[in-house]
A = this chain, B = another copy of it.
Amino acid sequence: MNRRTFFTKLAVAAGLAATRWLPGIEHAQTAVAQDNSFPELEWRMVTSWPPLLGNLSFAAQLVAERIAEMTNGKFKITVYPAGELVPALEVMNHVSTGEVEMGHTAAYYYTQLSPANAFGCAIPFGLTAMQQNAWLYEHGGLQMLQAFYEDRFNLIQFPAGNTGVQMGGWFNKEITSLADLAGLRMRTVGLTGRVMAKLGVETVALGGGEIFQALVTGEIDAGEWVGPYDDQKLGLHKAARYYYYPGWWEPCTVTELQISLPAWQSLPQEYQIIVRAAAYEANLITLARYDAGNPAALQQLYDEADITLLAFPQEVLVAAETATFELFEEISASDADFAAILPEWVKFRDSVQAWHGVSELAYLNYSAWSLRTVES
């Protein structure tokens, strides 16, 4: 496979930022005759989620259920929890080879395959959920990443879940300065570990289910998972006292539906559109579930344990952002795919953050001020 075909597609993509694009549709359209519509199919979807993880496994199940409902039961998909067919963090590998037709996972688990995988998932000091959707769907981001995935992994992906801005995790001591981070052992994943290393933090790779134990035994000093709703399920509020915000390394995290490209291309057009529609719904509804569940969960954390909610000191945020952009430069120097996507991504990030400064931020700022005034 010629790795550079990605860039040919990219050049076309840049001129089509506002046009959504679905590779393989024309292909399938000509290959499948009209009267072969709505064939009976049975597919498998492997996931990175243990059944415990409410909102993450929910999204995968939702995709499968909706596809079955929209095809009147003709297109059946069986969803497998992490580890049952393939290990949690090898979903992408097995969809890439075509061993299974579908996967539901988070692309930043695969930054060792390519650091550019982080763009579709979560980037430190990157985009919020609304900004990420704008970039992916309507600024050519998904189009670029789909060309990249097609070329590198022989699969096609659709966003199918989002957590929103995550929390900054649980610490067993207060962080009052940048110096307090030095020497900490912390559980985190993806590019974040490399940023943390620049701040003197030692990263420990642990699965979600291992964080509680490691905090309690002192194997780690800090750990981050998602936010109140998911963290509560892991009991992290009973393992460490200081709960920090915001989670600057995951201003949003996208989970995605990945489909083996030959399997995708074998689908009639109506099934392709139906699969994509189920992913749209999962993306929208998962975020809504987090925003509906997090307020009550945060209150319950307070009720159940003696926790302290704290903002990271500005000094930490500034140092972390500086370290993040240093890391971007280092990665760009050695990875052409990452280097190809980064500049347009940064440009969009700055412009949409400026826009949100006079819209979402300006409004949230007032409503938070008003809420504090009423409560005090």
Q: CB-nearest residue of chain B relative to A131?
A: B291
Contact, CB under 8 Å: B366 / A354: no
The reply on A200 being an interface residue by CB < 8 A is no
CA–CA, A273 to B65, complex, Å?
A: 11
Is A204 at the interface (CB under 8 A from chain B)?
Answer: no
Cα A284 to Cα B139 in complex, Å, equals 14
Q: Is the CB of B364 within 8 A of A277?
A: no
Secondary structure call for the A interface: helix
A368 touches B357 (CB 8 A): yes
| Distance of A353 from chain B, by nearest CB (Å) | 5
Query: Counting CB contacts under 8 A, is A311 at the interface?
Result: yes
Q: B352 touching A295 by the CB < 8 A rule?
A: yes
Interface residues of A, CB < 8 Å — how many? 86
Chain B min CB distance to A242 (Å): 13
Q: Is the CB of A138 within 8 A of B289?
A: yes
Residue from B70, B131, B354 within 8 A of A277 (CB atoms): B70
Nearest B residue to A360, CB-CB: B165
Is A165 within 8 A of B277, CB to CB? no
Task: State A298–B72 Cα separation when bound (angstroms).
Answer: 45
Contacts of A18 in B (CB 8 A): 289, 292-293
Partner of A165, one of B138, B314, B363: B363
Q: Of A7-15, A245-253, A326-334, which stretch is located at the interface?
A: A245-253
A164 → chain B closest CB, angstroms: 6
Most buried by B among A228, A273, A356: A273
As a 0/1 sequence over residues 265 to 309 of chain A, the CB contacts with chain B under 8 angstroms (1 = contact) are 000111001100110110111011111111110110000000001
A176 CB within 8 Å of chain B: no
Q: Cα distance A46–B357 when bound, in Å?
A: 36
Contacts of A283 in B (CB 8 A): 284
Instruction: Determine, out of A104-112, A122-130, A209-217, the stretch whose residues face the partner at the interface.
Output: A122-130
Q: Which A-B residue pairs are the 4 nearest by beta carbons?
A: A134-B291, A138-B292, A295-B351, A165-B359
Interface residues of A (CB under 8 A from B): 17-18, 20, 34, 37-38, 66, 69-72, 125, 128-131, 133-139, 164-167, 227-228, 245-248, 251, 268-270, 273-274, 277-278, 280-281, 283-285, 287-296, 298-299, 309, 311, 314, 317-318, 321, 348, 350-368, 370-371
